[in-house]
Amino acid sequence: MSNFSFLLADFPALHADAVEAEQLTLLSPKAAAIFCRSTLENAINWLYDHDPKLSRPFKSELSTLMHEHGFASQFNQTMLGELHLIRKTGNVAAHGSKVSQQDALASLKYLFRFLRYLATYYGKQTPAPQAFEEGLIPSGKPNAESTEQIAALQQQLAAKEQALREAERARLQEAEHNAELRQKIDRQQAELVARKQSRENTINLLFHCW
């Protein structure tokens, strides 16, 4: 069992990395923090790739993507602060500084909140209500995390992120010369926008009924 099982059907790649972060949170906090940051970055890039209302800024760095108005305006200051803490904690880990179990756990919880948002508004199936359960995280004392291990993990995730970005660029380039694919992408984006709007309306209605 995992806190992130709700991602499996619609976001399998994000599910795999989020579960990896969950498994490492107490055993290898630095690695968990790096996984959380990487998963956040991939999720945000997914939004820019699939939500036509979002326009990519000139720079592709995670911080720039998060500060872009169209993205940032979707969230309140509390959640934006949480997302930046995921990013900053991951950066701290990547530079070899100490990350505590508590810091890694905070990143994991904040990641859970953001991915619930993603699945709720953009997934094909609305996830069932769910509270974060710390009991699903494997317990234990932190392992020794060598500089070499952390560097290897960063290289692995960077290569994976680059492959994802290149695959998306190739898809869009193909669509420029393939009318059928272009129509398919346009249709998927229209469906996504309509689905998001419908769910926003439903949640707002439920909120005002309380």
- At 39-69, the pLDDT tens digits run 999 999 999 999 988 999 988 899 999 999 9
Per-residue pLDDT, 203: 63
Low-confidence ranges of the chain (pLDDT < 50): 205-210
Q: What angle do CA 129, 9, 198 make, to 5 degrees?
A: 55
Per-residue pLDDT, 154: 76
Q: Which of 140, 118, 147 is nearest to 50 (CA)?
A: 118
Per-residue pLDDT, 196: 81
Tokens at 146, concatenated: 């060598």
Per-residue pLDDT, 210: 45
Q: Which of 128, 97, 107 is nearest to 24 (CA)?
A: 107
CB 83 within 8 A of CB 71: no
Per-residue pLDDT, 33: 95
Strands (E), 41-125: none
Which residues 6+ apart lie within 8 Å of 33 measured at CB?
89, 90, 92, 93, 99, 103, 104, 107
- Say what the pTM is: 0.84
